[in-house]
Amino acid sequence: MKIAVLGTGYVGLSTGVCLSEIGHHVTCMDINEQKIQQLNQGISPIYEPGLEELLSLNMNAGRLNFTTSLSTGIAGAEIIIIAVGTPQADNGAADLTYLEQAAEDLAPYLVQGSIVVIKSTVPVGTNDRIKKLIESQTNFEIHMVSNPEFLRQGSAISDTLKADRIIIGSENKDAAEKVKAMYLPLNVPVILTSTKSAEMIKYASNAFLAMKISYINEIANLCEAFGADVEDVAKGMGMDKRIGEAFLKAGIGYGGSCFPKDVKALLHTASQIGLNFWLLKETIAINEFQRELLVKKAVKRFGDLQGLKIAMLGLAFKPETDDMREAPSIKLAEALSKLGADTIAYDPVATENAKKVIGETIKYANSIDKAISDADAVFIVTEWETVKQINLPDMLHKMKQPIIFDGRNCLSEENIKTCKKVEYYPVGKPAIIIV
């Protein structure tokens, strides 16, 4: 098939690259000329493992192209996918400005019966709204398909090529079957629904996973108070098939481009019809508390953080991405700065993005060694593999005080217990103190 993708952000680029990988001829479009020039040189503007390799491979095979011209990109396309951002507005709702602009920009190039797929995360009813917007300018019928993405940053390629399921929502059976055929080479389960059900599936899924994270974090705080081990508790819970083990890892909260935004958007949608979604309100409140957990632990340990050197290991909201959106490191940096700590952070890929968000309130190191040197305490914020595999005796020797606050429970307790002198404070588990 010939596919057009409007938007070369995280979702659009990952989708376009993977569709070309399974044999389609894909043209990705974006109004950002600099980004398109970069992509035409085989350079990905985002960090995602495996993406740049597939990008170059499919460009060289002639299946993947990039352009700023909508007329060029859409010409002859059997399916047009919109994958532009729907950021959070001030009131918590999804801001559909980019989506509406994309629809208006596309309209002059569409033809009778064009299939327009919305892959962006949108509130229930958005596909109907966009259909009316486009048809008001074309004076002919087009077919809308809701096809939400379920990509995890750091594993987007695998999540696309080995998806759990593909959701296709449309009021037109032929359009739905056409999009289904596009995904046929993946050989994964496909669920056909109405557009509104497909839109709701995306929000309901992300909100549930966010809720699951907040739940295990509350259990972790309870475990810590009573001396239980949240990892044992999570394992015991997760072996129940009704519950499952995924997203039961305690830590310092969720972040990124999806969970925070989607939970608030669903809450806003509920409020518009007068429904108090108490569960989502608590999910958000718990996550906000959890983001500053390491600072609370440090204050409890030291009393006063003024003048102490704190090393933050990790800035991105999760490993294998440079995404800083809603990253716990932002709140931690702000809180440490207010308390007068001298904070220095290291991240293998997200430092430049972090500087744009956090600014100069903290310092940045280009290696773990430089960050931890002479530190009074280390905060583990992102569970990068380089952090998990760190040489503990060497790290503790470089520090001024051998104190670790592990916000991701990613260090081996067996290794911790072999240290001659250490204070190790995990989340939801008893501290290990060797003096």
Task: Quote the CA–CA distance of 149 and 50 in Å, as a whole number.
Answer: 18
pTM for this model (two decimals): 0.91
**CA dist 9 → 95, 241, 304, 305 (Å):** 16, 36, 43, 39
pLDDT at 429: 97
Q: Check if 2-193 and 292-434 are the same fold.
A: yes
State residue 244's pLDDT score.
Answer: 96
Domain spans, the chain: 2-193, 202-288, 292-434
What pLDDT score was predicted for residue 155? 86
d(CA 108, CA 90): 32
Strand partners, 168: 192
Amino acid identity of residue 100, one-letter, is: E
- In this predicted structure, what is the pLDDT of residue 76? 93
What is the pLDDT, as a whole number, of residue 152? 83
Q: Is 111 exposed, middle or buried (0-12, 13-18, 19+ CB in 10 A)?
A: exposed
CATH code: domain 2-193 is 3.40.50.720
CATH for the stretch 292-434: 3.40.50.720
Per-residue pLDDT of the chain (435 residues; tens, 9 = 90+): 999 999 999 899 999 999 999 999 999 999 999 999 999 999 999 888 899 999 999 999 999 999 999 999 999 999 999 999 998 888 888 999 999 999 999 999 999 999 999 999 999 999 999 999 999 999 899 999 999 999 887 788 988 999 999 999 999 999 999 999 999 999 999 999 999 999 999 999 999 999 999 999 999 999 999 999 999 999 999 999 999 999 999 999 999 888 999 999 999 999 999 999 999 999 999 999 999 999 999 999 999 999 999 999 999 999 989 999 999 999 999 999 999 999 999 999 999 999 999 999 999 999 999 999 999 999 999 999 999 999 999 999 999 999 999 999 999 999 999 999 999 999 999 999 999
Residue 27 and residue 62: Cα distance in Å, rounded? 10
pLDDT of amino acid 257: 81
Predicted local distance difference test score (pLDDT) of residue 154: 79
CATH topology of domain 202-288: N-(1-d-carboxylethyl)-l-norvaline Dehydrogenase; domain 2 (1.10.1040)
Q: List the strands of the sheet with 432-434, edge to edge.
A: 363-364, 342-346, 309-313, 377-380, 403-406, 422-425, 432-434
pLDDT of residue 153: 77
Catalytic residues: 258
**For the chain, what is the HEC assignment?**
CEEEEECCCHHHHHHHHHHHHCCCEEEEECCCHHHHHHHHCCCCCCCCCCHHHHHHHHHHCCCEEEECCHHHHHCCCCEEEECCCCCECCCCCECCHHHHHHHHHHHHHCCCCCEEEECCCCCCCHHHHHHHHHHHHHCCCCEEEECCCCCCCCCHHHHHHCCCCEEEECCCHHHHHHHHHHCHHHCCCEEEECHHHHHHHHHHHHHHHHHHHHHHHHHHHHHHHHCCCHHHHHHHHHCCCCCCCCCCCCCCCCCCCCHHHHHHHHHHHHHHCCCCCHHHHHHHHHHHHHHCHHHHHHHHHHCCCCCCEEEEECCCCCCCCCCCCCCHHHHHHHHHHHCCCEEEEECCCCHHHHHHHHHHHCEECCCHHHHHCCCCEEEECCCCHHHHCCCHHHHHHHCCCCEEEECCCCCCHHHHHCCCCEEEECCCCCCEEEC
Residues sharing a CB contact under 8 Å with residue 198, sequence separation 6 or more, in sequence order: 146, 147, 148, 167, 168, 169
pLDDT digits (tens, 9 = 90+) for 241-263: 999 999 999 999 999 888 999 99
Give residue-wise pLDDT tens across range 314-367: 999 999 899 999 999 999 999 999 999 999 999 999 999 999 999 999 999 999
